[in-house]
Amino acid sequence: METFSFNKIGVLGRLGSDSVVSTLQRLRHWGAEKGLTLQFDSELQSSMANGSAPVVAFSSRQAIGEWADLIIVVGGDGTLLGAARDMARYEKPLLGINRGRLGFLTDIMPQDLPGAVERVLSGDYVMENRFLLEAQLLRNNEVVGEAMAMNDVVLHPGQSIRMIEFELHIDNQFVYSQRSDGLIVSTPTGSTAYALSAGGPIMHPSLDAIVLVPMFPHTLTSRPLMIDAGSEIRIAISDNNDLPPHVSSDAQSHMETRNGDVLVIRRHPHRLHLLHPSDHNYYETCRTKLGWGSRLGDD
């Protein structure tokens, strides 16, 4: 029997996708052939019901996080973002299989199964340590909402089309007041997502920094601001807003503010350990996903 670096493998996936279920079933059969111990997210149980398939265990995400020494995520980048927020506290490595569109984070393609996964399990991989953000919404100095984000925390007007007003403080120092469509607070991971669309810089994942990108500010001099990842960001919601701004984390969780609230954003204490095949090249990923030019002379 082959010897792998990882033997207790948790499997998470996106619900409601036939292509994801197909890949999950392939992992199910492959794990049985290799004698590996796999536990699948219990939310996938009804989607994977198949009496003739090898029997596998289903567990909650909490149980998988505590038990596994590797977690495979099948889906798109959004699926991995959700898994990262759930699993970061356990500090277990994640490996993404792409069943989405871009695939910045889930970079193993289904046609490369099972070979690419076997190479990773055998120790042929590179690991990136990426940080997340944690956000707290304070009202009268009491916490009324909390969220985590791997890409970004975004202050925005919600469904209304109007500017919002707020003050920005970093490490207890006043930075500026602003009227704009909002502010994107992004990690390096999120710098190729919403922040990029708003004119923010692309940040290499190894940087220990946060970028703040204004959204359509009512001034010509407001530009993206890069700060140390250990900074504390405080955004004070003005009393002059006609409608309460909203806060979104990875565009997957949402909080509604009130005038006078304070949004506090910090680096989360736990990091995500993201595995890639050993031939992974971040710049090649940017080149292929973002349409950068190839080498001169290449077809």
Could you list the active site residues? 77
**Residue 196 annotated as binding site:** yes
**Residue 152 annotated as binding site:** yes
Amino acid symbol at 267:
R
**Residue 195 annotated as binding site:** yes
Q: CB neighbours of 209 closer than 8 A, spacing ≥ 6? A: 188, 203, 226, 227, 228, 229
**Residue 77 annotated as binding site:** yes
Q: How far is Cα 299 from Cα 295, in angstroms, rounded to an integer?
A: 9
**Residue 23 annotated as binding site:** no
**Residue 78 annotated as binding site:** yes
Helix, strand, coil percentages in the chain from 3-state DSSP, rounded to 5: 25, 40, 40
**Cis peptide upstream of residue 114 (ω within 30 degrees of 0):** yes
- Please give the torsion angle defined by the CA atoms of residues 32, 66, 209 and 164, in that order, rounded to the nearest 10 degrees: 100
In Å, the largest CA–CA distance within the chain is: 68
**Residue 252 annotated as binding site:** yes
**Residue 149 annotated as binding site:** no
CB 70, CB 93: distance < 8 Å: yes
Instruction: Strand 209-215: give its sheet, edge to edge.
Output: 225-228, 209-215, 182-186, 152-156, 246-249, 253-256
**Residue 61 annotated as binding site:** no
**Residue 89 annotated as binding site:** no
| 3-class state of residue 198 by DSSP | coil
**Residue 52 annotated as binding site:** no
Place of tokens 């052939």: 33
**Residue 192 annotated as binding site:** yes
Pairing of strands 233-237, 262-277: antiparallel
Residues belonging to the binding site for NAD(+) are: 77-78, 151-152, 162, 179, 181, 192-197, 252
Residues belonging to the binding site are: 77-78, 151-152, 162, 179, 181, 192-197, 252
